[in-house]
Amino acid sequence: GAGVSQSPSNKVTEKGKDVELRCDPISGHTALYWYRQSLGQGLEFLIYFQGNSAPDKSGLPSDRFSAERTGGSVSTLTIQRTQQEDSAVYLCASSMRGGAVTQYFGPGTRLLVL
């Protein structure tokens, strides 16, 4: 498929465990975004990668959250010592470049922390 893919689609974990969420952007897209969405709500910006530039981490809610983008392609969002308030849908989007261009979203990973 040519779209953005995310895995897993659903993740149930216990409080205190670490989780890793994966995003495969559209090939050739240099910009990649991670967002968090609570049920029926708007999107909360988490982190932005653009090419080889240092990522914009200004949206990460705490130091338990981190993200990497290896080789300018696949990205992993890691949440350490998960808390119940981390339960949400985590969405990844990619675009050809940064700025006011179309972001293509993946289907999201639904995380439930028990």
Partner 1 sequence: TQLLEQSPQFLSIQEGENLTVYCNSSSVFSSLQWYRQEPGEGPVLLVTVVTGGEVKKLKRLTFQFGDARKDSSLHITAAQPGDTGLYLCAGMGIGGNQFYFGTGTSLTVIP
What letter represents residue 22's amino acid?
R
**Distance in Å, CB of 99 to partner 1, minimum:** 7
Is residue 45 involved in binding partner 1 (CB under 8 A)? yes
Whether the CA torsion 23, 27, 32, 38 is positive or negative: it is negative
Under DSSP, the state recorded for 52 is T
Contact call for residues 114 and 13 (beta carbons, < 8 A): yes
Residue 31 beta carbon to partner 1: minimum distance, rounded to whole angstroms:
8
Q: Which stretch binds partner 1 (CB under 8 A): 12-20, 44-52, 62-70, 71-79?
A: 44-52
- If the CB atoms of residues 20 and 44 are measured against partner 1, the closer one turns out to be 44
The one among 8, 12, 17, 41 contacting partner 1 by CB under 8 A? 41
| Separation between Cα atoms, residue 86 and residue 37, nearest integer Å | 10
| 2 near partner 1 (CB under 8 A) | no
